[in-house]
Amino acid sequence: MKSNRMQLGRPTIGETRRLEPKLVFEVMEDCVCIEDLPAPLPISKVSPDKLIEDILVSTLRRVQGSASPEVAAAAARYISLLSENTV
List, in sequence order, every residue forming a beta bridge with 13; answer none if it has no partner: 19
**What gap in Å lies between CA 15 and CA 59, rounded to an integer?**
48
Task: Residue 75: count other Cβ atoms within 10 Å of its Cβ.
Answer: 20
- pLDDT of the chain along its 87 residues, tens only? 555 555 555 555 555 555 555 555 555 566 778 888 888 889 888 889 888 999 999 999 999 998 899 999 999 999 999 888 765
Given this model, what pLDDT does residue 2 score? 56
Written as one letter, the residue type at 21 is P
Give exposure, 46-56, as e/b (b: 16+ Cβ within 10 Å). Answer: eeeeeeeeeee
Domains identified in the chain, total number? 1
Given this model, what pLDDT does residue 72 score? 93
In a domain, 20, yes or no: no
In a domain, 12, yes or no: no
Given this model, what pLDDT does residue 43 score? 85
In a domain, 54, yes or no: yes
Given this model, what pLDDT does residue 85 score? 76
Query: pTM, whole model, 2 decimals?
Result: 0.47
Provide the residue range defining the domain that includes 61: 44-86
In a domain, 57, yes or no: yes
In a domain, 25, yes or no: no
Alpha-carbon 31 to chain mean position? 24
